[in-house]
Amino acid sequence: MAPAKKRNVSSAKTTEQSVKTAKIDLNTKVESILESRKNANDVFDILEILQSAKEKDVVNAVNACSKLFCTLLEKKELFLGKLPGEEEALSGGYSAEEKYRMFMRHRYNSCVEMLLEHLSHELHGVKESALCCLMKFAAGEGQHPLEDLDWSEHYSFPRELIQAVVKRLLSKTTDNSLMISRFQEFLEMEDVRYYVMSSIRENVGKVMDKNKGALDPIYQNNVFTLMSNISVPSQESELTNFMVKQEAKHDDWKVAKLNEHKRVFERMWLGFLKYKLPSNMYKKILVILHDCILPHMSKPTLMIDFLTAAYEVGGAISLLALNGLFVLIHQHNLDYPDFYKKLYNLLEPSVFHVKYRARFFHLANLFLSSSHLPVYLVAAFAKRLARLALTAPPTALVIVLPFIYNLIRRHPSCRVLIHKPSTEDEPLEDPYLMDEEDPAKCRALESSLWEIKTLQKHYHPDVAKAAMSINTPLSEKEDDISEVLEITTYELMERDLKQSQTKSVPLEFETATQLLKGGANVLGQHFCLD
Amino acid sequence: MGKAPKKRSMADKVRKTKTSTEIKNNPFEVKINRKKFDILGRKSKHDVGLPGVSRSKAINKRKETLLKEYKQKNKSSKFIDRRFGEYDTKMAPEDKILKRFAMERQRNHDKKDVYNLNEEEELTHYGQSLAEMEKFNDLVNSDDESEEKGLLSAELTASHFGGGGLLRKKSLGEQQEGEGSHRAKSRQELIEELIQKSKLEKRERQVQKEEAQELTEKLDQEWKSIQALMVKKTPKGERVEEEKPKLEQYDMMVRELGFEMKAQPSEKLKTPEELAREEREKLQKLEADRLRRMMGDEVGESSQSQIHMSADDLNDGFILDTDDKKTLSYQDGKWNIGEESEEDKGEDEEEGQSGEEEESEAEEEDEDGDEEEEEEEEEEQEGSSEEEDGHSDLESEQESEDEEEKQDEKASAKPSLSKEEIKAQQEAAKAELPYTFTAPENYSDLKDLLHGHTPDNQRLIVARTQKSNHASLAVGNKLKLQKLFVFLLEYIGELATRSPPELTTIDKLIPELYTLCQMFPEAACKAMQSILGDAGHSMEEVLEVKGHVAFPALDMLIYLKVTALLFPTSDFRHPVTTPALLYISQALTKCPVRSLQDLTSGLALCCLAVEYVSFSKRFLPELINFLAGTLHLAVQDKTALGYTVVLPFRPSGKCSDLLVLSDSESCQSWSKKSLPLSATQRLELKNELGRDHHRLMCLSTCLDLVKRCCLLYKDLTSFACIFQPIRSLLSKHLSAQTLPELLQELHSEILETISSAPVTHSRLVLERKKPIPLKLLTPKIVEVLDYGKKRGSTREEREKERLQHKYKKEFKGALREIRKDTRFLAREKLNEVMNRDSERKRKVRELFGSLATQEGEWKALKRRKRK
């Protein structure tokens, strides 16, 4: 170990040294430029290194650039106002001082160009340092605007720069999620966030219009990642963290108003959602919709169209749209016709198998907790759930059975489903119509929950026990299903595995002689050893 | 007060002197204590009292104690009893007597007698020597018994009834005594002599009597011989003569029996019918147990009866494995991997033979499953071939490790001497596998142990390891064997993951696993649980990350199957099989079917699932879903479905046509055979025809499973609903025409079963509850069982109360006694005074009398003089 380590150290040292020398080189150059204007041409060297292939060199160059131009910005040694062309600047009648500034301004512009190019570099390190550098420039520009601030309604903020950065971030070709998560730290700042939001909206509108609304998964994914990282503070007093301090007229500044933030946020999302989305994107949006988007919108009701459209889609998307709809119905007085009918039709065998099972049952429990629902509806739900339970895995059954019991408890007139003594005790066929879409016409009330009777023979003891409880009158207290909503198969397994064994383990008494023998010999009949 | 212990002995003495019946029968002595209440179940001791008796007892007692003390009062001289232990109250009277006797003996012991070892004491009865008494046997003569009569005492009784030894010795001692003692004759000796003399006389008289009897008998016989001449019948004489030798025989027998060990009573040998019946009863009981567990009732203490026990089982956990009959005599030697070439040779030869044996055993095993019959077989085989006989001997001795080496020598020597050369050679060839194996400490040990052996040999090795490390042989063996089970499981898993999987080896190892499992259920359960738990956990993790998982590998399938073999699958809740079923269901719902290989795995899992629920007929929704999905894969036209497919299957997609035949012609060339289990891991199908055949195979398996499920779930109330998708699939989408004949049959059978099931059910009604009884207004009666006892206090309080009560009682008693004592003393004093007074009066009167007579005489003399 020891010698290897030594070697490592030594090699590391040499590279370090080389890097150091390069750094020193760059640093001396930067300092010489800053020292006297004679050395201004060294800028070209730095910019050259900026374009080199080596990651370390580029990163060093980026750092040097940021140092150089930030100082220049601070010193106000960059040309202000509308910049004439390079040739013009040389030929035009400007003073030497102005010429220098123009020259530097041109170099600055080209440096920014290069950095923006680097934002789509393949190496993450380069991208990151470029991004940081650009944001430093943005901060610097904000403090020391490059434009003339003559007119009053304009507040100094480097909008162009931010727009350019956002445009690069929302790449159409590469997945920029890592960069975006790095970018998140800048989004903490209120003004940056505000302008980023408005630039996103512009960018999305532009790009999607160009695409004529066609799907562009990578681009949309980038947009979504960036947008989902944006969260608006809940109170205006929290708006304190600004990148650019506006000394004057602060109170009128839009950025300092929460409502403006919300409005921009809302427009950004609506602008994004009005285009067609890939289905997995749809799901992702719906998953975060109710707690990341709706609360931050100034008028959440604007989402109604999107949500109803999603609810109509069917399947998992509808399930997810339920949550947003619930928020709207619950908090914003949305009146949704045939909501329960649609909910009823959402009940498909797949409900028990999808990932969002817990969320769905949580919401369904909420929707059906109203005591003002008609009996036929509750009975229809109970019967349909029971029917579907015949295809459900045990983890779902652990939820569904108490769910059905809770329905019956809340609506005692549904008790006929499990208890219907009749004088003429003749057996009858199940009158329930599974294919009927209207819960009012499915004749669930005339039926009985024979399915639960069937589930009493279920292989899992917990399920079978739960199903047994329809034999006796249900207890008054509702079962709490929130505990079992997230249960996994492994947790169910653990119940048996972790059980402390006080009793001895029963063993098979039929002597095992061969691998495939035993049981009903089913395996042996269809499979052989080799 | 201080004489409490003495009192009792006194009282006893007093009581003994009286004849109690006399007193009790005397109505004037008896005082009846009137009882106020008659209490059932209470025995009263004091309903009848004898006041006179008790008073006299008390008085007597006082006279002997108090009075004596009183009389000794103020007296300095004392009469002291110096007998040993006279005043020692702690000594039992018997001890006292013994001690005194011993001391007396010691005192009498002279120096002379120090070396007299043979000196024996004479035992007496009523002053007569027992030895003497024996010699003078009273004769109880009857006419029937003849001259042997005389023998029927000393020697005869001694030999017959075992009383001889002592007596004989005594008589010897007596003689010696007679010789040895020639001292001056004391009075006792004189008396003894006298007694002896009288005895001698008695004896002489007896001898005379005997002689007279003999003579009379002789006379009788002579008369009988004459009588025989007169009458042609000798009724008694012959019989008497015959009796003599018979008696001798009898004596011999008696003696023999006396020395013989007593035979232990053994159980009656059972007839085959009885055995069969017992076995059947046992099985029935086990079956009943299984049913009860299936219903989910709580298991009582009968759980240990689960373990199968043969009638001859000693209940020591040892299980005789008869399959080892073919165990061969191998030289004792260390296991060397370097010697493999030799071993291989041996194994090759062995394989041939063991194969044959395997066959014969396999036939036998088909018929039976229980050990008992196997044991019978063993016996049969022992009878048939001596060679094997020798081995079974060895086998039984194998248990003790100490004898191991000796046996090995025997084993190698014996057959070569006694058997033909071929067999001897075979033996020698086989003489490579050692008899004992040390239990593997870790998994790699086991692997090394089993490496490079044929499946049969591997099994043999495991069996021997198990036997030579049997739990009853050493302390740590139990742990070792438990470990062995864990390693074996691991080994099986590894065998299954090899490519190609070595399933035959696994197959061979199954009985060993089963035996070990029966020995250590807890350890086996834990090992299996950890495997299942790990598998379930890893599946859950992958699911969380990816959302789907690959089908479990072959080792997991094997583990699941082994679980079903070792543990009952029908239990309502079982620590191993319930998680195993959950695992199967999880796999069936979460593993997407992407290839024919996946489908084969899935179908194998389905088979396992059916096996798991085949006995208990429990409902497994995932199984039906998977089978319906599999059938869906075979549907050609996937538009307009009349049913829904559940995950992991999708209504349409790239893998939803897996079972659609590429060429309908391939139906003709297809024939049903078993799928290899290895197809779940690697499926190599060269051409389309092979693929089609595999598809048909899968389809036939699937249809067969559907049929089984139909039969299993026929009684469920929602049968029609459960099978509705399959029904519409089979009837509308998967037409029978395109299938081979075999499948067409299955197809129609399934549809028939489904349609024949009842669709009507009676309505659900809650179970009737017991009516709640009305409130009763009669007072609640609390039974008090211990009257007079204070309840509700702590133990200490009760104890204290008890002691206080006792103290009070004692105190009162003592007061009473003291009062009585003083009264007695006062009375005695008074008596004394009265006696003294009366004496004085008497004396005074006497004096007066004498004076009066003197005076009278004097006066008379005077009068006379006067006259």
B205: CB partners within 8 A, 6+ apart:
none
Q: What is the pLDDT of residue B175?
A: 46
Minimum CA–CA partner of B535 in chain A: A490
- Residue A415: which pLDDT band, with cuts at 50, 70 and 90? confident
Helices marked H in B73-149 — which ranges? 93-108, 130-135
Selected for mutation to probe chain A from B498, B529, B554, B565 (highest A CB count within 10 Å) is B565
Assess whether pLDDT exceeds 70 at residue B641: no
Is A315 in contact with A350 (CB distance < 8 Å)?
yes
pLDDT of B77-113, one tens digit each? 877 788 887 777 788 888 888 988 888 888 777 666 6
Query: What is the CB-side half-sphere exposure of residue B517 using CA atoms within 13 A?
Result: 31
CB nearest A512 (choices: B306, B566, B767) = B566
Inspect the interface and report whether the beta carbons of B618 and A522 lie closer than 8 Å.
no
Q: What are phi and psi of A421, to 5 degrees?
A: -70, 130
Assess whether pLDDT exceeds 60 at residue B362: no
The mean pLDDT of A19-28, rounded to a whole number, is 63
Q: Select the more confidently predicted residue: B633 or B405.
A: B633
Of the candidates A400, A416, A306, the residue with the CA atom closest to the CA atom of residue A357: A400
The mean pLDDT of A117-134, rounded to a whole number, is 75
Q: What is the pLDDT of residue B586?
A: 86
Kindly state the tokens that stand for B736. 């029978």
> Residue A459: its chain B contacts at CB < 8 A?
581, 585, 612-613, 616, 618-620
Q: Cβ of B518 under 8 Å from any chain A Cβ?
A: yes
Other beta carbons within 10 angstroms of residue A331's beta carbon come to: 11
**pTM given for the model:** 0.58
Assess whether pLDDT exceeds 70 at residue B334: no
Q: Please tell me the distance from the alpha carbon of residue B149 to that of residue B785, in angstroms, as a whole number.
A: 69
Inspect the interface and report whether the beta carbons of A390 and B760 lie closer than 8 Å.
no
Q: Please tell me the distance from the alpha carbon of residue A351 to that of residue A359, in angstroms, as a whole number.
A: 11
pLDDT of B678-709, one tens digit each? 777 777 777 777 777 888 888 888 888 888 88
Minimum CA–CA partner of B650 in chain A: A350
Helices marked H in B547-667 — which ranges? 554-566, 577-590, 596-614, 621-633
Inspect the interface and report whether the beta carbons of A489 and B582 lie closer than 8 Å.
yes
Q: Select the more confidently predicted residue: B399 or B571.
A: B571
Assembly ipTM: 0.70
> Residue B463: its chain A contacts at CB < 8 A?
none
Kindly state the tokens that stand for A399. 């939820």
State which of A1-15, A42-56, A267-281 shows the largest mean pLDDT: A267-281
Q: Cβ of B562 under 8 Å from any chain A Cβ?
A: yes
Q: Select the more confidently predicted residue: B738 or A484.
A: A484
Q: What is the pLDDT of residue B378?
A: 42
B179-201 residues labelled b (16+ CB within 10 A) or e (exposed):
eeeeeeeeeeeeebeeeeeebee
pLDDT of B7-27, one tens digit each? 455 555 555 555 667 667 778
Is A383 in contact with A432 (CB distance < 8 Å)?
yes
Is A35 in contact with A71 (CB distance < 8 Å)?
no
- Residue A147: which pLDDT band, with cuts at 50, 70 and 90? low
> Residue B765: its chain A contacts at CB < 8 A?
419-421
Q: What is the pLDDT of residue A326?
A: 79
CB nearest A461 (choices: B507, B572, B718) = B572
Inspect the interface and report whether the beta carbons of A515 and B558 lie closer than 8 Å.
yes
Q: What is the pLDDT of residue B832?
A: 92
Inspect the interface and report whether the beta carbons of B296 and A461 lie closer than 8 Å.
yes
Inspect the interface and report whether the beta carbons of A454 and B716 lie closer than 8 Å.
yes
pLDDT of B790-819, one tens digit each? 666 678 888 898 899 999 999 999 999 999
Cα–Cα separations (whole angstroms), residue B466 to B440, B442, B515, B523: 10, 15, 9, 15
Q: Select the more confidently predicted residue: A161 or B604.
A: B604
Q: Please tell me the distance from the alpha carbon of residue B237 to that of residue B218, in angstroms, as a whole number.
A: 11
Inspect the interface and report whether the beta carbons of A519 and B569 lie closer than 8 Å.
yes
> Residue A425: its chain B contacts at CB < 8 A?
762
pLDDT of A473-512, one tens digit each? 777 787 888 888 888 888 888 888 877 665 677 777 777 7
Is B674 in contact with A522 (CB distance < 8 Å)?
no
**CA-based Rg of chain B, rounded to a whole angstrom?**
52
- Residue A424: which pLDDT band, with cuts at 50, 70 and 90? low
CB nearest A514 (choices: B370, B510, B540) = B510
- Residue B834: which pLDDT band, with cuts at 50, 70 and 90? very high
Q: Please tell me the distance from the alpha carbon of residue B651 to that of residue B639, in angstroms, as a whole number.
A: 9
- Residue A252: which pLDDT band, with cuts at 50, 70 and 90? low
Chain A: closest CA distance from residue B666 (Å): 20
Q: What is the pLDDT of residue A236?
A: 65
pLDDT of A176-224, one tens digit each? 777 777 777 777 777 777 777 878 877 777 777 777 767 777 777 777 7
Whether omega for the bond prior to residue B500 falls within 30 degrees of 0, making it cis, is yes
Q: Please tell me the distance from the alpha carbon of residue B320 to that of residue B254, in angstroms, as a whole number.
A: 43
pLDDT of A354-370, one tens digit each? 777 888 888 888 888 88
The mean pLDDT of A28-51, rounded to a whole number, is 70
Inspect the interface and report whether the beta carbons of B561 and A528 lie closer than 8 Å.
no
CB nearest B506 (choices: A499, A505, A515) = A515
Q: What is the pLDDT of residue B812?
A: 96
Cα–Cα separations (whole angstroms), residue B816 to B33, B808, B813, B821: 21, 12, 5, 8
Q: Please tell me the distance from the alpha carbon of residue B788 to that of residue B793, in angstroms, as a whole number.
A: 13
Assess whether pLDDT exceeds 60 at residue B340: no
Assess whether pLDDT exceeds 90 at residue A241: no
- Calculate what percentage of chain B has a pLDDT beyond 90: 10
Is A107 in contact with A139 (CB distance < 8 Å)?
no
SS3 B125: strand
CB nearest B763 (choices: A353, A422, A497) = A422
What is the DSSP code (8-state) at residue B431? T
- Residue B183: which pLDDT band, with cuts at 50, 70 and 90? low
Q: What is the pLDDT of residue A251?
A: 55
- Residue A149: which pLDDT band, with cuts at 50, 70 and 90? low
State which of A218-227, A476-485, B50-59, B192-201 shows the largest mean pLDDT: B192-201
Rounded to the nearest integer, the mean pLDDT of chain B is 72
Query: What is the CB-side half-sphere exposure of residue A495 using CA atoms within 13 A?
Result: 15
Helices marked H in B672-766 — which ranges? 688-712, 719-728, 741-756
Cα–Cα separations (whole angstroms), residue B624 to A213, B573, B799: 44, 22, 73
Q: Select the more confidently predicted residue: B280 or A240.
A: B280
Assess whether pLDDT exceeds 60 at residue B361: no
> Residue A449: its chain B contacts at CB < 8 A?
764
Q: Cβ of B559 under 8 Å from any chain A Cβ?
A: no
Q: Which long-range contacts (CB under 8 A, 24 or more apart) does B341-345 make?
A: B342/B432, B343/B432, B343/B433, B343/B452, B344/B452, B345/B429
Q: Please tell me the distance from the alpha carbon of residue B522 to that of residue B520, in angstroms, as a whole number.
A: 6
Q: Select the more confidently predicted residue: A443 or B109.
A: A443
Assess whether pLDDT exceeds 80 at residue B60: yes
Write the DSSP string, A259-304: HHHHHHHHHHHHHHHTS---HHHHHHHHHHIIIIIGGG-S-GGGGH
Sign of the dihedral defined by the CA atoms of residues B771, B774, B775, B779, in that order: negative
A428: CB partners within 8 A, 6+ apart:
B760, B761, B762, B763
Q: Select the more confidently predicted residue: B218 or A67.
A: B218
Q: Select the more confidently predicted residue: B12 or B520.
A: B520
Of the candidates B468, B428, B434, the residue with the CA atom closest to the CA atom of residue B453: B434
Q: What is the pLDDT of residue B385?
A: 41
Q: Please tell me the distance from the alpha carbon of residue B319 to that of residue B310, in angstroms, as a whole number.
A: 9
Q: What is the pLDDT of residue B297?
A: 58
